[in-house]
Amino acid sequence: MFQIRRVPLVLALACTSLWAVGCGPTLSTQVRLETALAPGNTGTLSKDGLTIEVPNITQMPEVFRVEVPVCDRNGNPVVDSGVATMTTITALPIGGDLFQVKISNQTDHVVRLTGAVIRLFDPAENPIEPQSKEEVVATATRPSSLAQQGACATAAAKVTDALTTVRFIGPNTELLPGTTTTGYLSFMPPDNSVPGTWKLSLYEIPVKVDAAGAAVAKTRFDFAYVHKKFRDTYSQELLGERKLVSTKEVP
């Protein structure tokens, strides 16, 4: 599970007169969120001829990284010595949750996810539906979403191109017997920074069919994750290095 967030805001607790003589070190705080596999979640589940792996992503996959021109808050390109300033952004909407999913089919029939139900549950058990590929493209290319990453609106074309070849798991996913497919799930929860236990559930996965190909047995997979929020306090002397002095878990 990887959360797509903006760079966290740093709150400075400085003296009234900035860098005044005798002021001492400047203190600043930064809130961060950590996501880990919940107890009992190894990232891999096997049952009824299927194996599903959902690794805990710690870095944004390279397929979602796009280099685009930088624009200021007014939408004007940032230029340095006549050359456009470039930055690398994520080809996904800010505030989303991304999962990589690998499904292996060891059954003797084709597994189709046409009738499967996939949901992400927040700590209050509110269900969140996955975005379709079209929804991911639409939300990631909005001018407001691009601006949150400092990108120009013209970056939409590059984001769209980058997502063209990315496979997303959904109703059209099919697995032949003895094959494996890897894709992504993208969710847009109202607030993905809520601490507590989150759960990815895949329901109604067909594992047995009759002679006509109709599903007669289905199974379910659950993967739980824990979000923890921390407040880090840093100290920095004038022209010195910024040093971590304390960390506290916060609700």
Please give the Cα distance from 9 to 29 (Å, whole number).
Answer: 9
Q: How many CA atoms lie within 13 A of 56 on its CB side?
A: 15
Copy the structure tokens of residue 120.
């992400």
pLDDT at 91: 93
- pLDDT tens digits, the chain, 251 residues: what are they? 677 665 443 444 444 444 445 566 788 888 888 888 999 999 999 999 999 999 888 888 999 999 999 999 888 999 988 899 999 999 998 889 999 999 999 998 889 998 899 999 999 999 999 999 999 999 999 999 999 999 999 999 999 999 999 999 999 999 999 999 999 999 999 998 899 999 999 999 988 877 777 778 889 999 999 988 888 899 888 777 888 889 988 88
For residue 26, tell me if it sits in a domain. Answer: no
Q: In this structure, is residue 63 part of a structural domain? A: yes
Tell me what pLDDT residue 229 has.
86
In a domain, 16, yes or no: no
How confident is the model at residue 196, as a pLDDT? 94
Torsion of the alpha carbons at 72, 75, 78 and 84, rounded to the nearest 10: 140
What is residue 25's predicted lDDT score, i.e. its pLDDT?
Answer: 79
Q: Of 193, 153, 194, which Cα lies nearest the Cα of 5? A: 193
Model-level pTM? 0.82
In a 3-state reduction of DSSP, which class is residue 104? Answer: strand
User: Could you tell me the CATH number of the domain that includes residue 138?
Assistant: 2.60.40
User: Does 117 map to a domain?
Assistant: yes
CB 61 within 8 Å of CB 135: no
Residue 59 DSSP symbol? S
Asked, for residue 50, whether it belongs to a domain, the answer is yes
Position 217 scores a pLDDT of 85
Our count of domains for the chain comes to 1
The boundaries of the domain holding residue 213 are 41-225
Q: What is the pLDDT of residue 101?
A: 97
d(CA 182, CA 180): 7
CA 52 from centroid of its chain's CA atoms: 19
| Rounded Cα gap, residues 106 and 7, in angstroms | 42
pLDDT at residue 209 in the model: 75
